[in-house]
Structure 1
Amino acid sequence: MNFLSHFYFDREVDDCYHILGTILPDLLKNADKTIVLHPEKLQSTNPAVNSMINGWNKHLEVDRHFHSSGFFLEHSHKLKLLLRPVIEGSPVKPFFLGHIAIELILDNLLLTTGKVTADVFYDHLNGCDVAVVDDFLTFEGLKNTAVFFKFFDGFKSSRYLYSYAETQQIAYALKRICMRVWRDPFTPQHEAAINGILATYRESLLDNFMSVFDEIDSKLTAN
């Protein structure tokens, strides 16, 4: 799941460090894909660091439920089949595109239906003390934390998740993600075609997209 979808499950939690922890695995991967941390079973003497560890574990649990759900398997596959013919000539793998596309569409739907607000999400991130976040990263063994903080500062200041509320921006966000793997993933013609498919697919999910959130919620509660 993407950032706002993870936030949905803890949208009523009043602990910025826990909220940061729920998206930190993806933030670190985006900052530097070579960073690999495994804090799942660690405990710190700092309660705020432990909150981040708990958030991290929540992220892993939510992703596990989502990626094994019928909703994800069905819609990522359908999107792969729809997108494959319109990206002919692109180096991007259709299965990768289908996977990321359904996650971005869900973030868009959460925003546009008012299930989450980007303001509250960013307020949480801005409420975290840099020194505490640095404590977490060094506690987990990351030696060069500057790489992460450079990305994190840009992530907060750009506030690009607001753009997810604009359906036509989903294709642009998809391109940005693909550019981390492929230098020139799409032509303008590819982007236009992707945009049309994603806009139509988004409309088809509008009435039932919350089913996957309800399903995951029930599994989280059961645990």
Structure 2
Amino acid sequence: MNFLSHFYFDRNSEDPHLVLGTILPDLVKNARKDWNLHPEKKIELYDSQVEHSILTGWKRHLAVDRHFHNSQFFHAHTHAIRDLIKPSLQNSVVRPSFLAHISLELMLDSTLLTENHLDAEDLYVHLRQSDRALIKRFLEINQLDDTDHFFNFFEKFIQSNYLNSYRESHHIMYALNRICMRIWKDPLNEEQMQNLSVILSEYHELLKENYLEIYDEISLVIDPSI
């Protein structure tokens, strides 16, 4: 799941560091894709409540993703999207299964906003309130080797207010292309992007009929004490 979908499960939390933890795995990966942290292996080194809150959020993130990626909902929708977009990707290096996966996650984030299940600004408020010094210590304990680079990315992430752009369907295609550009050179041409935008916009409307099923399903199984 993407940033706003992870936030959905803790949108009523008053702990900014737990909320930060729920999206921190994706923040780290977006800052630098070769960073791989395993903070659950460093529990004995955390000596503040803030660090334990970040860890709790991190573990909740992993639990949510694990259930989501193994759900019937995920498999049914990614297979359907893949089959629809595959003809448009015949001459592209982009894998249809990859684009289907990311498309579904961005559509879900977008729907949470447009259907007023949460406000992206609430997430940004938590991130602004988080203690930078203790986040830095958490990252250093986990041997993240360039915290300056991470915080540069983190502050730009907050300042850009980018998640609110998911309210507009054409921004989803823009975001998808940007993600693909991190992996492949010249992944999509203009015609492919236009075709995909139409296909995904139509699918997005269909998704709105049952999108809450996966949130309800995960809410029932996720352990609130993680």
TM over 0.5: yes
Could you state the TM-score of these two structures normalised by the residue count of structure 1? Answer: 0.97
CA distance in 1, matches of 2:188, 2:88: 10
User: What is the aligned partner in structure 1 of residue 134 from structure 2?
Assistant: 132
Name structure 2 gaps, 5 residues minimum. none
Matched AA of 1:13 = S
Contact 1:42 1:53 in 2 (8 A): no
User: What is the aligned partner in structure 2 of residue 27 from structure 1?
Assistant: 27
Q: Return the offset for 1:87.
A: 2.0
Q: Return the offset for 1:176.
A: 1.0
Q: Deviations over 1:114-157 (max 9, x none)?
A: 01111101111111121111011011122321121111111111
Q: Deviations over 1:146-182 (max 9, x none)?
A: 1211111111111111110101211111111111101
Does residue 197 in structure 1 map to residue 189 in structure 2? no
> Considering only aligned residues, what root-mean-square deviation do their CA atoms show, in Å?
1.2
User: What is the aligned partner in structure 2 of residue 159 from structure 1?
Assistant: 161
Matched AA of 1:164 = Y
5 Å-filtered alignment, 1:1-223, equals 1-43=1-43, 44-221=46-223
Name structure 1 gaps, 5 residues minimum. none
CA distance in 2, matches of 1:193, 1:95: 17
Q: Return the offset for 1:33.
A: 1.0
- Structure 1 segments of 4+ aligned residues over 4 angstroms from their partners: none
Matched AA of 2:12 = E
Q: Deviations over 1:98-126 (max 9, x none)?
A: 11010000001000000111110111111
Could you state the TM-score of these two structures normalised by the residue count of structure 2? Answer: 0.95
Over the matched positions of the two proteins, sequence identity in percent amounts to 46
Matched AA of 1:84 = K
Q: Deviations over 1:20-69 (max 9, x none)?
A: 11111111111111111101243211110110011000000000000000
